[in-house]
Structure 1
Amino acid sequence: MGKLTTHVLDTAHGCPAAGMAIALWAINESGERKQLKQITTNGDGRTNEPLLMDEEFTVGVYELVFDVGEYFARFPDTLPSPPFLNRVPIQFGIADSTAHYHVPLLTSPWSYSTYRGS
């Protein structure tokens, strides 16, 4: 069976983004959103378990919302008020429920990037 994982790297400080809140949403065909999970990254910037796996991991559209603003607020010297980035949403589709989908976030207070990892 497939699974969904994530990893957050703090590119401003050159370290994993430990303690970042992340919400996982499912989005149906009419655009309605349902929150599936609210989690926090561990010391390695990862979640302790896959976000979705086994029978939870199905074909569809999902969104991860990373609370970047709250995370970088711990470093007051790096953030203006209000912050440039607050919540970073990444909407993506799962087309193969047998594959591993890894959605990492590389972020600073002013930019972010993502890709489908392995």
Structure 2
Amino acid sequence: MCDKHIEVFTSLLREDDLPSPTTYESEVTNSTTPPFSDKMMMFFIMSLGSVFISRYGTAIGLCNRRDIGLHFTRLLAESAKYLEDAVNIMIKNGWMEQPPQATVRNTLAENR
């Protein structure tokens, strides 16, 4: 998914003859042993995903070009779908708990 996002924005820069930033592919190691637990990596993915979605939302509001705004909108929706899958994995593995919920006032009054 990240490669797709990078390609979308790199192609826009290339079309306008602008330089594109380099990626961090050279920093990937040959290790086959994960340094972090699956739970920690899922939490990290969820945190980064939330940041990406908020930044895409900000970018949509600030972008003056319709074509770029459409890319932001489409990629935001894809990111949200990806995060939904991540949440389902976390729930399935018992890594995410339901946050405290608001009291249903009608039920509270009936049980009085």
TM > 0.5 between the two?
no
Q: TM-score, normalised by structure 2?
A: 0.23
Greater relative contact order: 1 or 2 (C-alpha under 8 angstroms, separation 6 or more)?
1
Normalization by structure 1: what TM-score?
Answer: 0.22
Name the structure with the higher helix share: 2
